[in-house]
Amino acid sequence: MGRPGDGGVERVDVVVVGARCAGSATAIALARQGRSVLVLDGARFPSDTLSTHLFFPAHVAEVARLGALERVRALGAPTHDVAGLWGDDVMVDGPFAPFEGHAHGWSVRRPGFDHALVETAREAGAEVRESTRVTDLVWGGGGRVEGVRWRDRDGEEGTVRADLVVGADGRHSTVARLVGARAHHEVPNHRMMAYAYYRDPPHADRHAALQWRFGRELGTVFPCDGGLSIALLMSPADRADEFRADPTATFEATLATIPPMAERFADAERVTKVRTSYKHPKYFRHSAGPGWALPGDSGHFKDPVTAQGIRDAMRFGRLLGEAVGPLIGDHAAIDRATRLWERDRDDQCLDMYQWANGLGEADEVSPIESAAYRWLAARPDGATEVLDVFSRRRLSTEVFSLGRAARWAADALRHPRAGRAEVWRTLRRDAVREARRRREAIAFTRVRAASARAGLQPPLPASVDGQAMVSPPSTTTV
């Protein structure tokens, strides 16, 4: 796969835009099948990105499937053998059940982790070209995407033609914009994120990932590599102006209002500035069309409150690569496979999407939730059951079933500290939300299809046979 360097045209089986979780995973799966893969990324690795990095056992299993486990292990992050959720003075904590043989979580900083994936993709046979941004698409006759145009840091430009263009280029995806992929089921975030790294003292428990809910605040600690822990606050989004005015002071003052979190970080020293994300709306995006596909955040973004994005980016990148690898050369078969891949991704992600949207509401711990915390804490396997949802071993609707919700509501009504009016108010609110969630789940396929139809326009190729390299107006969706 020679680089032309003079604005000439290269040819590969698949070009992947973006080299992190989704892009490297797609490239690894394709390269292992002997396909020629070129991955282009504007970043230079190791490179950080705005993201915390909590891993559940299902994340670890994906890393193993990609063949990157030893590289990631070598970064030295402590395993999370226990995880706990604290609400209303009750801690629900316990071990993880194994997922594909992996029974621990992790928190691995993104520069090292993403670099490990990039190196694994190279080892598998993919070419990964850094500091190179994709600027436009190459369109063939009939509205099929046939390649990309790129520009590197030195201003050099070129064209790559391929059977498939994979836009693994994140939430602000260039590929999604250029093909006109529409979002559907969009939900604004009700919690913002603010995080910083702390150096742990020798006595810190570095094998437990913990979450605390206190009032409307939600705080977490994820011990990670480098002797550090990440402190993450998911405060209500309506506090964004306070954080904008003074991120550090607001972060530290908020952390101090969550007593067990303040205690956990009492002897730890903050070693980075506070990083914030105020707006990160959640969505599904139409992710497959003639000659293109969107794995990872470019095609679907969940509320980070459940920490699933890295796993899903790797998983659906890998599954995309595995699905199209055998079909190179047959455009109709590739386009059929990417459509099926998108439906499978949506089927596998909808439950988690909806659950994350529910957890992402910036509510106080309700009396019914308090009853749930007490009930789960009293069960020997209560924590593991909840962790099974984060680990994708069980659906959220199994663990947080209507039957259990009714039981927790009855427990709340009997509890001496819970006001009956507050319990009934919460019950009404939760019933409305649950009805909305069910309606959305039942109508999901229909609404997705309607969204696709609404975006359909006759293809507008800017050229025949890709001779001209200008993208058509980006309104088309499939």
Ligand X SMILES: Cc1cc2nc3c(=O)[nH]c(=O)nc-3n(C[C@H](O)[C@H](O)[C@H](O)COP(=O)(O)OP(=O)(O)OC[C@H]3O[C@@H](n4cnc5c(N)ncnc54)[C@H](O)[C@@H]3O)c2cc1C
Please report, as ranges, the residues that interact with ligand X according to CB under 6 A.
17-23, 40-43, 49-54, 133-134, 168-170, 174, 193, 277, 280, 296-297, 304, 307-311, 313
**Could you tell me the two tokens for 97?**
């059940």
Between CA 275 and CA 248 the distance in angstroms is 9
**Could you tell me the two tokens for 87?**
């609400």
Least distance CB 75 / ligand X (angstroms): 16
Least distance CB 51 / ligand X (angstroms): 3
Between CA 9 and CA 148 the distance in angstroms is 10
Between CA 224 and CA 257 the distance in angstroms is 24
Closer to ligand X at the Cβ: 153 or 343?
153
Between CA 335 and CA 146 the distance in angstroms is 12
Q: Which of 95, 48, 430, 392 is nearest to 224 (CA)?
A: 48
**Could you tell me the two tokens for 383?**
């924590």
Least distance CB 142 / ligand X (angstroms): 24
Q: What one-character DSSP code corresponds to residue 50?
A: S
Closer to ligand X at the Cβ: 88 or 312?
312
Least distance CB 308 / ligand X (angstroms): 5
Q: Which of 263, 207, 18, 35 is nearest to 130 (CA)?
A: 18
DSSP calls for 345-372: HHHHHHHHHHHHHHHTS-PPPPHHHHHH
Least distance CB 315 / ligand X (angstroms): 11
Closer to ligand X at the Cβ: 174 or 338?
174
Least distance CB 242 / ligand X (angstroms): 18
Q: What one-character DSSP code corresponds to residue 102?
A: B
Closer to ligand X at the Cβ: 297 or 411?
297
Least distance CB 393 / ligand X (angstroms): 16
Closer to ligand X at the Cβ: 7 or 141?
7
Closer to ligand X at the Cβ: 337 or 352?
352
Q: Which of 181, 170, 146 is nearest to 160 (CA)?
A: 146
Closer to ligand X at the Cβ: 187 or 413?
187
90 dihedral zone (left: phi>0; alpha: psi -120 to 50; beta): beta
**Could you tell me the two tokens for 283?**
């969505």
Q: Which residue has the tokens 């030195």?
A: 154
